[in-house]
Structure 1
Amino acid sequence: MVAACASCAVGLGCFFFPTDAHADEANSTAARIEFLEARIKTQRTHAELWWEGWVSFYTIGAGVQLVRAAGAPTQAERVDQWIGFVKAIGALMRFSLDPYGGIRKLEPVPGGRPESLDARIARAERILEHNASRTQAFGAWYAHVANFAINGTGTIIVGAGFDDWKQGILSGALGFGIGEVVLLTAPWEADDDLSDYRKGSWQLHASAGSIGIVGTF
Structure 2
Amino acid sequence: MLILLLSAIWLSTPALAQSSSQEYRAYEDALAQGSRHANLWQVGWTSVYAGSLAVNAWQASEASDADDRFDARVGVVKSALALGGMLLDRQPHPAAYREWRDGEDDIQRARRLLEAVAEEERARRSLQARLGSLAVNTIAGLTIAVGDGRERDGAINFATGMLVSELQLQSQPRQATSAINRFQPARVSFGDVHLEGEYAWLVGPSQLGVALRY
**Cα gap change, 1:193 to 1:71, in 2 (>3 Å):** same
Task: Specify which structure has the bigger relative contact order, considering alpha-carbon pairs within 8 angstroms and separated by 6 or more residues.
Answer: 1
Which residue pairs with 1:151 in the alignment?
137
Runs of 5+ unmatched residues, structure 1:
1-24, 110-114, 208-217
Q: Calculate the aligned-residue CA RMSD, in Å.
A: 3.1
* Aligned match of 2:121: 135
**Number of the residue aligned with 2:85:** 94
Pick from 177, 182, 193: which aligns with 2:179? 193
What's the CA shift string for 1:35-73, capped at 9, x where partnerless? 111121222222222222111111111111101111123
- Judge conservation of contact 1:155–1:169 (CA < 8 Å) in 2: yes
- Stretches of 4+ aligned residues off by more than 4 angstroms: 200-207
* Counterpart check, 1:169 vs 2:155: yes
Structure 1 counterpart of 2:39, one-letter code:
E
**Partner of residue 170 from structure 2, selected from 184, 199, 203:** 184
Residue 122 of structure 2 aligns to a residue in which SS?
coil
Larger Rg: 1
Give, in whole Å, the separation in 2 of the partners of 1:146 and 1:126.
29
The one-letter amino acid paired with 1:128 is L
1:52-131 → structure 2 map (5 Å cutoff): 52-100=43-91, 102-103=92-93, 104-107=95-98, 108-109=101-102, 117-118=105-106, 121-131=107-117
| Matching of residue 42 in structure 1 with residue 28 in structure 2 | no
Is the 1:75–1:162 contact (alpha carbons within 8 Å) kept by the matching residues of 2? no
Aligned counterpart, 2:192: none
Distance 1:146 1:29 in 2: 41
**Partner secondary structure for residue 99 of structure 1:** coil
Change (3 A) 1:56 1:28: same
Per the TM alignment, residue 170 of structure 1 is displaced from its structure 2 partner at its CA by 2.6
Q: Distance in 2 between matches of 1:73 and 1:45?
A: 42
C-alpha distance 117-145 of structure 1, shift in aligned 2 (>3 A): closer
Q: Counterparts of 1:202 and 1:30 in 2: how far apart (Å)?
A: 18
Give the TM-score taking structure 2 as reference length. Answer: 0.68
1:87 to partner: Cα distance: 0.9
Aligned partners of 1:205 and 1:46: how far apart in 2? 28
Contact 1:138 1:188 in 2 (8 A): no
Shift of 1:160: 1.4
Q: 5+ residue gaps in structure 2?
A: 1-16, 185-197, 203-208
Alignment size in residue pairs: 175
Seen in structure 2, the aligned counterparts of structure 1 residues 35 and 202 have a Cα distance that, compared at 3 Å, is farther
**Alpha-carbon distance between aligned partners in 2 of 1:153 and 1:170, rounded to the nearest angstrom:** 13
Q: TM-score scaled to structure 1, two decimals?
A: 0.67
1:31–1:202 contact (8 Å) kept in structure 2: no
Per the TM alignment, residue 206 of structure 1 is displaced from its structure 2 partner at its CA by 8.4
**8 Å Cα contact 2:125-2:169 kept in structure 1:** yes
- Report deviation, 1:161: 1.2
